[in-house]
Amino acid sequence: MKKLLSTGYADWAFNAAIFILRVALGLMMLPHGYDKLVHFGAKKNTFMSFLGLGSTVSLSLAVFAEFFCAIFLIIGLFTRFTVMPLIIAMSVAFFKAHNAEMFGAGEKAGLYLAGFLVILMVGPGKASVDGLMGK
């Protein structure tokens, strides 16, 4: 009971938790990006145009973030740089596409955004390519 109420943690527990968070978020993000990549032609004219970039460029950036950055996130390569496009993509999805409806349509984007912000702040942990390289 004493351990359950403790605020201390072991290094292995921290690294395991960050590993689980990083891999889970990356694996859950992959289908979103893969769907956009596979149906790029059908979605390129109807996708939301962000900052006047046009729908094709906005969709390309979303595919890069949600598919390719998710792969890098899973393996833990360049993690802090990799998570930045994901934070931007989820911020756009949450604030612009879903009008910051935390308890509605934007719930999933808000949860992803929170998880990616945690990874940005604490890093990839030792169970990652970055951790193995000593970064």
For residue 18, the Cα-to-chain-centroid distance in whole angstroms is 13
Residue 122 amino acid letter: V
**Lowest-confidence region among 11-15, 81-85, 88-92, 115-119:** 11-15
When the pLDDT of each residue in the chain is averaged and rounded to a whole number, the result is 88
Structure tokens that stand for 115 in this block: 């998880």
Give backbone dihedrals phi and psi of 99, rounded to 5 degrees, phi first. 50, 35
**pLDDT number for residue 127:** 85
Beta carbons of 58 and 47 less than 8 angstroms apart: yes
C-alpha–C-alpha distance, residues 38 and 88, integer Å: 22
pTM of the model: 0.87
pLDDT over 90, % of the chain:
50
Tens-place pLDDT, residues 87-109? 999 999 889 877 777 888 888 98
pLDDT bucket at 135, cuts 50 / 70 / 90: low
C-alpha–C-alpha distance, residues 125 and 132, integer Å: 9
